[in-house]
Amino acid sequence: MEEVSIEDEVEVRRGSFEPDHGRKRTPSGNVRHSRDRSYSESERYPTANSSLPHRSSFTEDSADGAVAGDSFDSVSQSYSHSEMFHQSHDPKHLTINEQELIKITQMQVESKDTPPENKGLLEKGAIIFLFLWYFFSFCTLILNKYILSEMDLNAQFLGAWQILCTTVFGFIQLRLPCGQTGIGRVPGRKSAPPNFLFNMTIGGVLRFGTTILALLALKNVAASFVETIKSTAPMFTVLITWMMLREKTGFWVSLSLIPIMGGLALCSSSELSFNTIGFMAAISTNIVECFQNVFSKKLLSNDKHKYSPLELQFYMSSAALILLVPAWFFVDLPLKQLYIGRGRRRHLDRHILMALLFDGVSFHLQSVTAYALMQRISPVTHSVANTAKRALLIWLSVLVFGNTITVLSGLGSMVVLAGVVLYQRACNAEKRRRAEETQAAKSQSEA
């Protein structure tokens, strides 16, 4: 579509302010008006914005109210450069309405080139995805704990089932009309982005490891303990950021990590269901998940080759599902051995199938809403929202499962959450300080 400059749009809109000169009325009462103007665009606007496309010539023919069989006179007007410039651009020759029209048109054109402001969680879409993410995370946590503890299913099988479900559901969503825009496909892209297979393989490995390790931790320790350990994600984020991006962390940010580690020590020493396997699995889950979040945010925020949340969810899950095939082959875990209960084999019945179906759907929706929220807010805001979610899930799991929490365990959870809040405040202060230093250096260089 051909772009129109500000001056052209103003000239078209000025028709409503022009007097009724050069118009003829037919016997039927219709107004006839014809103009033929030819002039050079570069001559008319010697100071026009060079970024806007120009035409070598401009011709405008108009005949309002044409009726077959009527005859009318045509009035032709030719404008020179000086006449057009003074009549169209000199403020002395413009009425108040025309001057306001120029200002409004210029603001509309500038607004098209200005990127939308990132409102964070104040955006309506971000708030909706935040609540959906909280809801489906809680549903998935409850179903996972129920399937692993009450039904005594194998954690590896449940992880494979979740990845299979999210792959199938993601494929269906991408094929539906609702998957063409929004959180679905990126509009206008016809080919795969560069390094597509490499990025999806890395993402699949991280997603596979996160899912399996999280279920293994949930199998051996209480859900509240797993969520408490996951609250230490900011500490691992600092380390991973330094390792991958070589970004140094400020003093106050590093100091805020002390209460996080101290609270974790209190939780580990007082949690009744603590064991080494569950603790190591929970820590490993945290590390792998931090790598996955940083990598996913990079793919979602790439300006040149951006992925949509649903695409990232589907392709990473597909890569993780492919990794399950050699894992089953080398570990030699046939399907019938995945349902071993307490001393006896479990057979698939209607109750188990329904629980697995709801768990797969909830896990898929949790993942999609997490990616959609990550796309709409900054990493710091996402970390704050994730921390609040951890705190909520800890106490909800206590209410649902009735886990015994000692005084030290409750105190440790509060210290961890308080440390995470201090960490976020320190990060925000550090970013403001760096922004002020950058602005001051820029002002000095311009002066």
Mean pLDDT confidence for 315-331: 76
pLDDT of residue 136: 93
> Phi first, then psi: what are they for 253, rounded to 5°?
-65, -45
pLDDT of residue 113: 41
Least confident of 116-120, 204-208, 378-382: 116-120
pLDDT, tens digit, 9 for 90 and up, residues 189-218: 556 677 888 888 898 889 888 878 887 887
b/e sequence 27-50, b meaning 16+ C-beta within 10 Å = eeeeebbbeeeebebeebbeeeee
Least confident of 55-59, 149-153, 289-293, 442-446: 55-59
Q: Map residue 24 onto helix, strand or coil.
A: strand
pLDDT of residue 139: 92
Mean model confidence pLDDT for the chain? 69
Q: Is the pLDDT of residue 11 over 70?
A: no
Q: Can you give the pTM of this predicted structure? A: 0.59
CB distance 229 to 385 below 8 Å? no
> Phi first, then psi: what are they for 18, rounded to 5°?
-75, 145
Please report, rounded to a whole number, the percentage of residues in the chain having pLDDT higher than 70: 56
Mean pLDDT confidence for 381-397: 73
Q: Which residue has the tokens 């020590």?
A: 265
Distances (CA, A) of 100 to 9, 50, 227: 13, 24, 58
Confidence of residue 340 (pLDDT cuts 50, 70, 90): very low
Least confident of 25-39, 93-107, 180-194, 218-232: 25-39
How far apart are alpha carbons 45 and 4 in whole angstroms? Answer: 13
Beta bridge partners of 31: 25
CB distance 144 to 400 below 8 Å? no
